[in-house]
Amino acid sequence: MVRAAFCRIRDFNSFTVLESVTEMRRLGKTGLSVAPIVIGGNVFGWTADEKTSFAILDAFFDAGLNTIDTADVYSSWVPGNKGGDSEEIIGRWLSQAKVSRDKAVIVTKVGSDMGQGKTLKETYILKAVEDSLRRLQTDYIDVYLSHWPDEDTPHEETLGAYAKLKQQGKIRAIGCSNYDAKLLQASFDAAEKAGLPRYDVLQPEYNLYERASFEGPLADLCVKEDIGVITYFSLAAGFLTGKYRSKADTQGRAREGRVSKYLDDKGLRILAALDTVSAETGAKPAEISLAWLLRKKGVTAPIASATSLSQLESLAKSATLALSDDAMALLDEAGA
């Protein structure tokens, strides 16, 4: 948990940069420690060009934060991109950054469709990790995640591939994304029976709007098994920043298709609750949404993206925002 933190603002090359010292959180049984906010690399090479991405990463680490999340498939959905674009930008930043490699926790994922369909077969993983290492310009990946379940590949085969990579020192810890409680438990059972490493990190979709898939059995299992949980879509594709209040607000935006689904009665109730808490605390909706996640059972740290330094400053503030029980109850009810 975050027990003590302080921050200050300074000017840096005409930008305002948030500097802070924040107590770290254990990432389950991985032996790694992460700051309360993880920077999402999905925007690198998409809505943030390389220069902007470098500035965001510099400021992120200046703020005492330390973990970057990406995937081999980011950002293949952008016309002209091939996938691996985010990893390449992070790799070029790592090669010239003032931050030493051991101070950065790099999370990336394997198994998405890079032209061969979604797969977690051993031969594919052993090749894909080499591609990610090359793009990231590093000798090892701190946390390597199975991006999607693969019902055609036994857990033992996938975990066996990871065991080889851990032995070779190419990855430090493993985890999975988009697994439900039943599938995660099955992977634990397979690992124990075969004497293979288990998943120690989970990356689920979880935010004020999307709650049902994590809360309940999956969250309970993560707490029971001491799984590190880093949530994605923590701001619901930007909806929980409060800047999208109607369909008109989304038109022509890069996230138009992703945000529109939240503009229903439930979404508007959540925005109203965020406005109420914002008026009481002076915090922005995005800061409140992330602070809410940081108080939820089982959550280690939410992932959030930034495309400007002002957005990054707001994300960093959320790590030290303490919400009252009344505020938590109001937000819980709105998004129930």
As a whole number of angstroms, the longest Cα–Cα distance in the chain is 57
Burial of residue 204 (number of CB atoms within 10 Å: 0-12, 13-18, 19+): buried
74 is catalytic: yes
As a whole number of Å, the end-to-end CA separation of the chain is 25
Alpha helices in the chain (DSSP H): 50-62, 85-96, 122-136, 155-167, 181-194, 217-225, 247-250, 256-259, 265-281, 285-294, 309-318, 325-334
Report the DSSP beta bridge partners of residue 18. 9
Burial of residue 80 (number of CB atoms within 10 Å: 0-12, 13-18, 19+): exposed
Point out the catalytic residue in the list 74, 162, 209, 232: 74
* 139 token code pair: 């000798």
Cite the active site residues: 74
